[in-house]
Chains A and B, each alone.
Chain A
Amino acid sequence: MRRLITVALIVVPVFAQEAPAPPQAAETPSPVPSGESWLTGSIDVGYRWRTDVGGSFDTYRSIVNLGSGPKMLGADFTLADPKHRAFDQIRVRANGWGDDPYQTVHLDAKKSKLYDFSADYRDIAYFNFLPSYADPLLGRGIVLNEQSFDTRRHLGSFRLDLFPGNWFIPYLAYDRDSGSGTGATTFVTDGNEFPVPNTLRDQTNLYRGGVRFELRRFHATLEQGGTTFKDDQSVFQNPGSLNFGNVATPVFGQRTDLTSLLATYGVRGSSIYSKGLFTAEATPWLDVYGQFLYSQPDSNVHYQQAATGNLFLQSQALFYTSQQYLVSAAAKLPHTSGSLGAEIRPLRRVRIVQSWLTDRLHNAGSAASTQTFAGSGASQQIAALLASSLVTNYNQEEIDIFYDATSKLTLRGGYRYVWGEANDAVLPPAGLMSSDQAKLRRNVGIGGVTYRPFQKLTIRTDAEAASSGGSYFRTSLYDYQKVHAQARYQALTSLNFTADFTLLDNHNPVPGVNYDYRSQQESLSLFWSPSGGKIFDFQGSYTRSTLHSNIGYLIPQTLTAQTSLYRDNAHTATALFNVKLPAVQGIAPKLSAGGSFFISSGNRATSYYQPLATLWLPVNKKMSVFADWRYYGYGEAFYLYEGFRTNLVTAGLRFTR
């Protein structure tokens, strides 16, 4: 009985407690109105007409490359699942489909506390055929770019982040980059180069995965990844054709020619890397961060080349009619990089940021080759074994001190020391690439001011002044001053101005170099949107840029001193004016007009105009009609034959949901 009483005394109060309220979800519902559509977004479809291209069509394709035809010009959709089953939201955006040169699509899908997924795909046309670039035959009336290509690159990127908990986030990612197409290149022999077609085909796959630990005061990311790479480009000339090459002058009374060629590169590469990142709030006055990476990419090559014709080997003074060239090569490039840094806040108004960085690449390669030459009744073989090495160790240390003088003024001062060494060697030494080494030593003083006298005006300036004791190249930064200043002013709620100034002044006074370089840009931009853009808005910018560069060299054929002078003085402007026109029969059209121009004088004096106008006619809430006109006009002062001009007109519909 006592037991029953005891049990009753305990159990009854438990069940006698007030009935609990229904358990609340950990997260209360978002105040999103439940009546919102599960699918929202818009899609633009239309047809584009291109008028005949006046001038150089090849240049047009190299720079613009837009064609006629039906197009899906853009799309942006959000798909929301109100019941949050497989996903909360999927966002898709796409651009330029319908044989346009830049076709892209991007997808984001997410489900709260479960996953984030993103996919990105781009199909990029990469065409380049500018005769002025590489046409040794232009003097003979042959328009040909001997380094041209017509390729497409396909880029895919996929990433999945999982959220099994709040602080532990595993992720997987895959990237693929492939290119394929055709082009023109040269087959180089002693005494002549033969322009020939080539096919280009390469592919890189990157696989990576890792985990992120995100805690309140500490974060670490550990990632492991690897790549595979292959390059199967080939160069060829079909048998039966006769190619006299770039040189018409006979060698020892004989004219060289190429009658057939097949050269294939069998390149295979791979890489494994390990990476670690961390950030930590060690104490309330100290944040630290850092990263470390080690990777070791390698490549293996089996190159095969077979050529026939009347060809010449200068080193042996030998004419031959067929050649076989085999190369087996390999390279390994261990790469280590790391950084460490800290922000220290010893006083309320003072922050000290200290950072250190190193980046080390050590490439070692070797190539074994055999060339077999066959001529009239005799053959000859040349074997070679080469070893190559390229090493760079880059290091940088910097300290910056920030002082908030007032709530409106922040001052910054700092010092950076950059040092490193690089060497590049091929053994046994011969030709252009033999052995070179250099050291990098640079001291840089840093200063900056951020001033906000009132909320509508912000002025930022930063400057660097450097003195070097060594640099890798003649055109590298040496003794330089760099200045950047910017002012942003909100004159009215609807009117903003931005002024920008940059300067880089670099000198290398070392005898034999004597390099002077100065580039300067001044920009002014404004954005005016009265009444929140209800009637019209305007944005425009103007930039003036100048570049002066002088550096000496010896003319190769005479070894007399010459100075390379490069000048570029440019004016660039952009503008876009949007206006809502008076409604006609309930339809309120919207007109956008503007574009850009670029005019330069100097060593590559160029003009490039891109005006545009677009008219929008909203038919109803779900559909608009639009018409778009664009003009592209390009001209060069020294290469008149590369100019072009054309008009593009697009008419289409926008469907909105």
Chain B
Amino acid sequence: MRSIKLAVLLLIAAGLTTRAQTPAASPPALPAGYVGSETCKICHEDIYNGFGKSPHQAIETNAKRGWMGRGCESCHGAAQKHTETASAAEIRNPAKLVAAAADKICLTCHLNQPTHVGRLESSHAKDQVSCTSCHKVHANGPNGLVNRKPVAINEQCASCHTNIWAQFQKPNHHKLPEGAMSCVDCHNPHGSIRKAMAQSFAANEPGCLNCHGDKRGPFTFEHGPVRFEGCASCHEPHGSANPRMLVRQEVRIVCLECHANLPRVNTTGTIGVVPPSFHDLRSPRYQNCTVCHQKIHGSYVDRNLLR
């Protein structure tokens, strides 16, 4: 009886030893229709070598991802027909697919990541701008799959958003042309809970507060527009000919367009129109409201934002 037990134990040990000695990640046999990346390399050597240096190389080499030895075909699909005919029509080319179909290939692996929480709300997704518009899947540079240097990021964004880049050529602007900032400092290209794909900071606060922390508050006496409609109520964030990137040429005009001294007549209400002020705007003393109402973003101590 003891010998049987011993035999069973040895059998288990032998089995385990054998299992441990089996090559951990030998390329599995190719499924039907697949040819393996080495075959792709014969014609597409440059792309193959570049891919070998890119972060996507993990698909090719990591058995857990299920595409070991078939990295190319993980996106391009089974390539046997293509290798037999050398016809471009016989291989899936994501660049020729509609954006949603191309994205679907990327999202096979990347859907369940925090960057994609706001993806469907982004104007990029809605306007059929695919992942590969910004990410180079075969890239082999030190930057990986996407530009990381501010100057390169800005150039890439500006190649589509030409009119926005033009606004940065105005004299008062955030310092993007100087390379001190990039578009993604303020915008999340994958989408955001905020409008215009604006970055949110920490507790979903506007991304502006990441650098302008002194405007965060909470203030004892808030200025409504800052909280209700954000910094863009009064500022042109990309650039302006007006000082401090204001939306109007002089401060008093910015203020008067809301604080119009007109009685409220609509039933739903409009904030900030009353009560009237009687300052004589002809006097230079009153031509910039923030000379007195200096805590215009909110005051810790004064209800009239004077200090």
Contacts and interface: CB of A to CB of B under 8 A. Distances in A.
A469 B268 contact: yes
**B-side interface mostly:** loop
Contacts of A365: 218-222
B33 interface: no
A298 B218 contact: yes
B165 A574 contact: yes
B23 A600 contact: no
Contacts of B116: 279, 289
Q: Which of B101, B161, B178, B276 has the most CB of A within 10 A?
A: B178
B218 A333 contact: yes
B41 to A, nearest CB: 10
A305 B300 CA distance: 14
Contact of B25 (A25, A436, A525): A25
Interface in A203-231: 203-204, 206, 208, 212, 214-219, 221, 225, 227, 229, 231
A372 to B, nearest CB: 16
Interface in B116-130: 116-121, 123, 126-129
Contact of B220 (A217, A329, A343, A566): A329
A32 interface: yes
Given A26-B24, A438-B271, A572-B169, A204 B213 contact: yes
Q: Which of B150, B202, B224 has the most CB of A within 10 A?
A: B202
Contacts, number: 503
B82 interface: no
A527 B159 CA distance: 9
B163 A502 contact: yes
B134 interface: no
A68 interface: no
Contacts of A138: 284
B145 interface: no
A474 interface: yes
Interface string B1-29: 01110110011001001100111111000
B43 interface: no
B112 A513 contact: no
**A-side interface mostly:** strand
Interface residues of A, number: 208
Nearest to B210: A177
Interface string B213-248: 110111111101101110001000000011110001
B207 interface: no
Contact of B175 (A31, A102, A108, A386): A102
A281 B116 CA distance: 12
A363 B227 contact: yes
A438 B274 CA distance: 13
A543 B272 contact: no
State which size class the interface on B falls in: 35 or more
A445 interface: no
A221 B285 contact: no
A156 to B, nearest CB: 11
B172 to A, nearest CB: 7
A303 B266 contact: no
A618 interface: no
B211 A303 contact: no
B306 interface: yes
A541 B112 contact: no
A98 interface: no
Contact of A473 (B113, B233, B290): B233
Interface string B33-61: 00000000000000001001100011011
Given A297-B203, A556-B281, A10 B7 contact: yes
A628 interface: no
A128 interface: yes
B221 A426 contact: yes
Interface in A175-191: 175, 177-179, 185-188
A604 B241 CA distance: 7
Contacts of A510: 265-266, 270
B86 interface: no
A292 to B, nearest CB: 10
Contacts of A357: 121, 193
B218 A363 contact: yes
Contacts of A262: none
A55 B192 CA distance: 44
Nearest to B263: A512
Interface stretch (A252-260, A375-383, A545-553, A583-591): A545-553
A14 B180 contact: no
A6 B221 contact: no
A283 interface: no
A610 interface: yes
A99 interface: no
Given A102-B175, A281-B112, A448-B126, A299 B217 contact: yes
Interface stretch (A313-321, A334-342, A530-538, A646-654): A334-342
A122 B126 contact: no
Contacts of A277: 114, 117
A273 interface: yes
A279 B220 contact: no
A440 B74 CA distance: 48
A564 interface: yes
Contact of A523 (B60, B142, B162, B266): B162
A541 B166 contact: yes
A476 B258 CA distance: 10
A26 B62 contact: yes
A177 B269 CA distance: 38
B258 to A, nearest CB: 5
A644 B26 CA distance: 69
Contacts of A147: 288, 290-291, 294
A521 B163 contact: yes
A495 B210 CA distance: 39
B14 A14 contact: yes
B76 interface: no
Contact of A556 (B64, B95, B244, B276): B276
Contact of B3 (A2, A78, A177, A290): A2
A455 interface: yes
Given A327-B301, A432-B275, 5 more contacts: A186-B294, A229-B216, A289-B118, A512-B262, A598-B170
25 contacts: A3-B3, A17-B18, A27-B25, A63-B171, A101-B180, A217-B112, A219-B113, A281-B112, A289-B116, A293-B203, A299-B300, A331-B218, A335-B204, A365-B218, A388-B303, A410-B100, A431-B303, A432-B305, A438-B268, A438-B271, A460-B128, A511-B266, A512-B273, A554-B262, A564-B248
Q: Nearest 10 pairs between A and B by C-beta?
A: A470-B268, A102-B180, A219-B112, A295-B203, A543-B166, A333-B218, A553-B260, A365-B220, A273-B203, A31-B52
